[in-house]
Each structure stands twice: as structure tokens, then as C-alpha cells.
Amino acid sequence: MSASQPTQTETEGDPDATDRFDAARERFDRIDREITRQMNRLGIPVLRVALGIVFIWFGGLKVVGGSPAAELVAATVYVVPAEVFVPILGVWEVLIGLCLLYRPLIRVGILLLFLQMPGTFLPVVLLPEVVFVTFPHELTVEGQYIIKNLVIIGAALVVGGTVREDAGEAGPEDATEPVRTDVNDAVRANGDETVREADDETVREDAEEIVREDAEEIVREDAKE
């Protein structure tokens, strides 16, 4: 080993290297916390709009006769003429999308969505030869189209869980959650028990900043309405 190269013990004991590492970790934590906060702020609105667009788009195709799923729908609900049922289903889906895009009608949209969803899985029972290449794991394209509705159901549950918040009925636990999360992050990063009492000035400033930004966001939303 060259004499100019520091030993492992010397490197581990270098206070400057430790300080640089701690500073880099703190910067990463701040950036990560901000990114997470923005994702938390934007995630549900983006999810709601995305759901609305998907339903309006897919439903609109059924209304104008351009849906690739029309044949599958017609084969599943064969007791009703396809030229009648498919456009009606399309209108239903467009209504779901419009309700999801208009916040006061989210409850209606979620209700219409969950009334429709069981029907989307009927081909699994009535037309398994169309859904599966090999039952039960190998899906056809049509089968994948159907199974992806599980994601839509999950997304609808998430959006539906926010309707009381959209009505301004969030409880005190919901209102304080961002502050609590920020304090907990600081506790884990710092490892100092006193931070649990939020005595550290940096933690208080971070918490106050979150409260201010959330309050400003509420004011902006109220102004839009």
C-alpha cells in the first residue's frame, strides 16, 4: 500500500468526510421529502383526472361505433342487440368520466363506476375461451383488457376515499398528518430523542412551512371554486 493512501481506519475517522456525508444525506432527505410531498399533493387529483379521461375516451368510442371492445361486449350481453347496448354502455362510461372530472359529482361517478365494474368481468365466466389462452394464468389480449379493470377499481377506491376532503370535511387527524410525517422523518434522520418533542428549531420551521403551504393551497382552491 502506498504511503500516500489513507488507511481504512483513517478514512472512517475523518471528521470532514463524516460531515460531508451527513450534509449530503440531509440534502437528499430534504429533496426526497419535498418530492414526496408534491407527489402526495398532486397524486390523487392526477389520478382522478386520468380516470375521467379514460372513461370519457373509451365510452366515447362506444358511442360513435369505434370501440375495439364492442364485439366482446356484444358477445357477452347477447340478449340485448349490440347496436342498442353498446352505445348505452358508452354513454354510461362518459357519464362516469364527467362526474369524476367535476368534483361535486365524484360520489355519483364512483357509484356509476362500481355498478358497471361487475359487468366488465362477465366474459371471464361466460366466455373463458376468449379471455384465456391457458386457464387460469395465460391471458389473451381481451383477457388483459378485462383484468386491468382491477387497477381501475383500486384507483376508484383511492379517489372515493377523498370525497369528504373535497367537501371540506377532513378531520383534525387528516389536517395534521403532513406535519406529523415531517417530524417523524426528522426523528429518523436525526436520531435525537429530543426531536420527538419537536424542540429542534429546524423541525419546527419545516412543520410551519408545510402548514403555511397547505393553508395557501386551500385558499387557492377556495378561490377557484
Sequence-distant (≥ 6) Cβ neighbours of residue 177 within 8 angstroms: none
pLDDT of 99-132, one tens digit each? 999 999 999 999 999 999 999 999 999 999 999 9
Q: Is the pLDDT of residue 186 over 90?
A: no
pLDDT of 189-224, one tens digit each? 554 444 444 455 555 666 667 666 766 666 566 655
User: 136: exposed, middle or buried (C-beta count within 10 Å: 0-12, 13-18, 19+)?
Assistant: exposed
8 belongs to a structural domain: no
Are 174 and 159 in the same domain? no
Are 54 and 84 in the same domain? yes
Query: Which structural domain range is residue 47 located in?
Result: 21-163
Are 25 and 107 in the same domain? yes
Of the residues 121, 136, 163, which one is the last residue of a structural domain? 163
pTM of the model: 0.66
**What span, in angstroms and rounded, lies between the C-alpha atoms of 37 and 185?**
12
**What span, in angstroms and rounded, lies between the C-alpha atoms of 211 and 172?**
13
Are 120 and 187 in the same domain? no
Beta pairing, strands 138-139 & 132-134: antiparallel
> Residue 70 — very low, low, confident or very high, per pLDDT cuts 50/70/90?
very high
Q: What are the two backbone dihedrals, phi and then psi, of residue 198, each rounded to the nearest 5 degrees? A: 60, 35
| Residues 16/19/21/23 CA torsion (nearest 10 deg) | -140
Q: Say if CB 139 and CB 147 are below 8 A apart.
A: yes
Q: How many domains does the chain divide into?
A: 2
